[in-house]
Amino acid sequence: MPEHRDELLFTETEVAGYKLKALSFGDLTRVTPELVNIFDKAAALITSKALTPTEVVKIIFVLLPDLTPIIAKVCNVPEEEIAALPATDGVKLASAIWQLNKEIITDFFGIAGSLVVAR
């Protein structure tokens, strides 16, 4: 039996009329520039291990504009279509995309972040 039961249950979903599934390798490469930008911005904003709720909300709002291109690419629609969605739908889409792909995204960046360049 798999370690994480959620993985079997949450591999495809529909949110706000958009069908979402786990990213393929090609999809991941298409959103990697935006993901790197988000990780860089978040790292610059996180100044301690214990953030206040206000600091967390501020970080989310700073990163929010960078989510639209990712959601548009994953949904295969123009950015303008995602930008025009009700905020609740945009948040639901972002959350669902994260839930479907968080393991591969964090593993990818975790592995890349732990590499040491040989001299």
Instruction: For residue range 24-37, list pLDDT tens digits in order.
Output: 989 999 999 998 89
In a domain, 51, yes or no: yes
In a domain, 18, yes or no: no
Distances (CA, A) of 59 to 33, 64, 102, 116: 19, 9, 18, 29
In a domain, 16, yes or no: no
pLDDT of residue 52: 87
Question: Could you tell me the residue range of the domain that residue 38 belongs to?
Answer: 24-114
In a domain, 44, yes or no: yes
In a domain, 10, yes or no: no
pTM: 0.75
In a domain, 106, yes or no: yes
Q: How many domains is the chain built from?
A: 1
Q: What is the CA radius of gyration of the chain?
A: 16
Is the pLDDT assigned to residue 10 strictly greater than 80? no
Helices (H), the chain: 5-9, 25-45, 53-63, 67-75, 79-83, 87-114
Give the mean model confidence (pLDDT) for residues 91-97. Answer: 93
Is the pLDDT assigned to residue 7 strictly greater than 50? no
In a domain, 32, yes or no: yes
